[in-house]
Amino acid sequence: MTKPSFALSLALLATLTLALAALSVLAGKVWFSPADAWAALVTGAPDLGGVIVRELRAPRAMLAMLVGAALGLSGAALQGLLRNPLAEPGVLGVSTGASLGAVLALYYGVSGSFALALPLAGLIGAAATTALVVALAARGGAIALILAGAAVSSFGGALVALALNLAPSPWAATEIMVWLMGSLADRSWSHVALAAPFVLAGSVVLLGAGRSLDALSLGEATAESLGVKLSTLRLQIVGGAALAVGAATAVSGAIGFVGLVAGHLVRPLAGHVPSRVLPLAALAGAALVLAADIGVRLIPFGPEMKLGVVTALVGAPFFLLLILRARRTLS
């Protein structure tokens, strides 16, 4: 009964994502016709257009998909794990950790020492905060995880603010600010190569948790009685989300709200079944970030808007709507 509509939703969202990815390659200050872009991709023409398509647009579209899928999937998985519709990757402190790592690299000026120094520092920051959160929440339940994440996240945020405060020069401060806003501009295939393995590994881990999350929708006691080991499931989801979101944030900066929103957008399409929400949320996240990134390039006035700013601008009202709806059902 729900099966055909789920398969259909999956196919439609996948098609939408691919269409947006194609549009992302074509759209921008310079527009390409599909034929030109195809020719540039296939033949590797050495002219300027070919270079723009191959070295700027294509990796940017690829990164948008990776980052969006990582955020959407992790957010939906965390909402299932914490049994809280307002959960998002930020609650674990992973994105703050990645930001802090990158900010420290910018602060100490090591970000320019080699091409991937900045995202690598972000990855290290994400790994360190996740380890800290997991250690703090060890043997505690979902609440312990949320509290540990919130504590580590706000401390990380304070350190980021401190770095801004003590920035050695206004340029360094601006550089940090700009990075914090999140963007996919001027990224290369090496960023894709850095993020992709982590995002893919994290996604596999998260998608593998689907059935346990289904059981968890009946409550922790019932899930345990059905053979789900809660401590393993927590580690699986925190680890998977940390891999995927840590890598995504490391290459793109903080992109807000996609992780919160994607799951909610697709939940009705999946009949609210968590294992079905996961793949749909990954696709929806990819589509959202692609769309926002195309939007950013097409806004005709002023300097290019930062992706994180646009997703937050669009996402915050949605968040508000969610809270209003939740308030109605809770009262």
| Site for other proteins, rule CB under 8 A | 1-3, 80, 83, 211, 214-219, 221-222, 224-227, 229, 267, 271-274
| 219/162 Cα distance (integer angstroms) | 41
> Shortest Cβ distance from residue 217 to other proteins (Å)?
5
> Shortest Cβ distance from residue 51 to other proteins (Å)?
45
Sign of CA dihedral 185, 188, 190, 194: positive
> Shortest Cβ distance from residue 71 to other proteins (Å)?
21
Place of tokens 């968590």: 274
Closer to other proteins by Cβ: residue 180 or 213: 213
> Shortest Cβ distance from residue 297 to other proteins (Å)?
37
With CA atoms as reference, report the closest residue to 146 among 88, 96, 62, 186.
88
186: left (phi over 0), alpha (psi -120 to 50) or beta: left
Return the amino acid letter for 283: L
With CA atoms as reference, report the closest residue to 305 among 225, 185, 209.
185
Closer to other proteins by Cβ: residue 36 or 224: 224
> Shortest Cβ distance from residue 212 to other proteins (Å)?
9
Closer to other proteins by Cβ: residue 80 or 256: 80
Closer to other proteins by Cβ: residue 83 or 297: 83
> Shortest Cβ distance from residue 258 to other proteins (Å)?
21
With CA atoms as reference, report the closest residue to 234 among 87, 71, 26, 49.
87
> Shortest Cβ distance from residue 273 to other proteins (Å)?
6
Closer to other proteins by Cβ: residue 144 or 159: 144
Closer to other proteins by Cβ: residue 216 or 260: 216
Sign of CA dihedral 174, 104, 290, 267: negative
Closer to other proteins by Cβ: residue 154 or 222: 222
With CA atoms as reference, report the closest residue to 55 among 186, 250, 178, 228.
186
> Shortest Cβ distance from residue 205 to other proteins (Å)?
16
Residues 127, 100 contacting (CB under 8 angstroms): no
Closer to other proteins by Cβ: residue 221 or 330: 221
> Shortest Cβ distance from residue 144 to other proteins (Å)?
17
Closer to other proteins by Cβ: residue 113 or 225: 225
Q: Spell out the residues 6+ positions from residue 216 whose beta carbon is closer than 8 angstroms to its own.
A: 80, 81, 83, 223, 228, 230, 233, 274
